Amino acid sequence: MLNPSQWFTEQVPEAGSAFSLKIKQKLHEEQSEFQHLEIYETETFGNLMVIDGCTMVSTRDNFFYHEMISHPALFTHPEPKRVWIIGGGDCGTLREVLKHPSVEQAVQIDIDERVTRLAEIYFPELCESNNDPRADLKFIDGIKWVKDAEPNSVDIIIVDSTDPIGPALGLFSEDFYRDCFACLSENGMVVQQSESALLHMKLIGEMRGAMSTSGFKNLQTLFFPQCLYPSGWWSATIAGKGDLSQFREQDCANKPFDTTYYNADIHKAALAQPEFFKKAFNL
């Protein structure tokens, strides 16, 4: 919501909290086939994309999310060559994935093309790898894409989705995770944004349970700051066919590309589990 004093505020009634950014102007607004899209110019966070009233991405702080949903999984896999991004329409995750020299193909599957077209205009820095020959952008149903995929089709599936409502609801289901398991390669893994451990423990528990019953026996939930999202503290959960206890630390330390937040120390720190989280899931 935009109040008379020109602050965009996302309220979280169930948490009794809200997050606000001071706005210079509204740059764009439309109702796509799937969702309501708004773009604002803020005073201190650059441009801001809002989908269905929820903050999605800002110029200033998107690097936390995009780096942490991609690099930990890619450095945990022994040799990621084929990566699918389900959602991710702003293309920031695609950019991070394609920084890895081992990646031969990165397919981004987002149902709403308008998100990508607006990102190309208002977040061009996130879209700088869209024309990479390894990139393939598809604007179709990601759930159906995974269901129809052949076995051994992909090494890593990154689920870069909105909250589990509307078009994204099916991405948090046991059926979807079973389809992911079926098409992943031997050491394959799926990584998905898993909301805030401070506000959404029930959802995280349901996700981890559905991943486990779908065949994934190795799970990791990692934590990182994200001030734009409710509570300012976010997470991603990795479900792997193979062992997730080690990552390619030396490769990470010598990575041939720049990051803003992620490095080997951050990778290790992100996997430290809070005491309440350990107790909740008997870790």
pLDDT confidence of residue 3: 54
pLDDT confidence of residue 283: 84
Tell me the one-letter amino acid at 30.
E
pLDDT confidence of residue 103: 98
pLDDT confidence of residue 162: 64
Strands 82-87, 154-160: pairing is: parallel
Of 147, 176, 150, 172, the residue nearest 161 (C-alpha): 172
Produce one character per residue of 125-155: b if its CB has 16 or more CB atoms within 10 Å, e if not.
ebbebbeeebbebeeebbbebbbebeeebbb
- For the record, the structure tokens of 145 come out as 């894409």
Of 121, 132, 122, the residue nearest 96 (C-alpha): 132
Strands 233-240, 105-109: pairing is: unpaired
> What distance in Å separates the CA atoms of residue 278 and residue 280, rounded to the nearest whole number?
6
Q: How many Cβ atoms are within 10 Å of 101's Cβ, its own excluded?
A: 9
Q: How many Cβ atoms are within 10 Å of 57's Cβ, its own excluded?
A: 25
> What distance in Å separates the CA atoms of residue 11 and residue 14, rounded to the nearest whole number?
9
pLDDT confidence of residue 161: 81
pLDDT confidence of residue 106: 98
Annotated catalytic sites, by residue?
160
> What distance in Å separates the CA atoms of residue 191 and residue 178, rounded to the nearest whole number?
14
Produce one character per residue of 160-185: b if its CB has 16 or more CB atoms within 10 Å, e if not.
bbbbbeebbebbbbeebbbbbbbbbb
Positions in the chain whose pLDDT score sits under 50: none
Helices within the chain (DSSP H only): 62-68, 71-76, 92-97, 113-122, 142-147, 174-183, 201-213, 249-253, 264-270, 275-281
pLDDT confidence of residue 8: 96
